[in-house]
């Protein structure tokens, strides 16, 4: 009788002891990680495509959210603010760098342009 009970337990054990693994976050190569940055980049590109010159810094920030980088310059009596938003991936190291971002250039609180050309023209 004990032998039959042992065999029954041995056969049922794999079913009772099985479980699932949940992965949280990502290591740079995982699906969840790549999905997150792809969604973020797509969202930022979509918002940038709907921007208009002369929008206020406040209205752009409320649409776009927090910038990845934020810089301030003063030149020729004007205040310039550059907000950088991630829009493309250049390396899979998990760290956002400026070369993966599109700069939005504001002069005295108004959007004057975006992209490298605007950055080079105004600063």
In the structure, what pLDDT confidence band is assigned to residue 34 with cuts at 50, 70 and 90?
low
State which residues form the domain around 72: 54-123
CATH code, 123: 3.30.1450
Domain membership of residue 47 (yes or no) is: no
CB-based contacts of 42, cutoff 8 Å, min separation 6: none
pLDDT tens per residue across span 51-67: 999 999 999 999 999 99
The yes-or-no verdict on residue 13 having pLDDT over 90 is no
Domain membership of residue 58 (yes or no) is: yes
The predicted model gives 25-43 an average pLDDT of: 67
pLDDT tens per residue across span 55-113: 999 999 999 999 999 999 999 999 999 999 999 988 777 789 999 999 999 999 999 99
With helix as H, strand as E and coil as C, how does the chain read? CHHHHHHHHHHHHHHHHCCCCCCCCCCCCCHHHHHHHHHHHHHHHHHHHCCCCCCEHHHHHHHHCCCCEEEEEEECCEEEEEEEEECCCCCCCCCCCHHHEEEEEEECCEEEEECHHHHHHHC
Dist CA 106 CA 123 (whole Å): 11
Domain membership of residue 92 (yes or no) is: yes
Structural domain count of the chain = 1
Domain membership of residue 18 (yes or no) is: no
The pLDDT > 90 percentage for the chain reads 62
Specify the pLDDT at position 23. Answer: 41
Domain membership of residue 25 (yes or no) is: no
Domain membership of residue 99 (yes or no) is: yes
Domain membership of residue 19 (yes or no) is: no
């Amino acid at each position: 009788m004990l032998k039959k009970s042992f065999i029954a337990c041995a056969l049922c054990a794999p079913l009772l002891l099985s479980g699932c693994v949940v992965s949280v976050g990502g290591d740079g190569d995982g699906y969840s990680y790549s999905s997150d940055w792809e969604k973020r980049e797509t969202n930022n590109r979509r918002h940038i495509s709907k921007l208009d010159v002369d929008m206020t810094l406040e209205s752009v920030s409320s649409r776009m959210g927090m910038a990845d980088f934020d810089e301030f310059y003063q030149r020729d009596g004007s205040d310039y603010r550059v907000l950088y938003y991630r829009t493309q991936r250049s390396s899979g190291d998990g760290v956002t760098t400026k070369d993966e971002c599109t700069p939005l250039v504001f002069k005295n609180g108004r959007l004057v342009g975006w992209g490298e050309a605007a950055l080079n023209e105004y600063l």
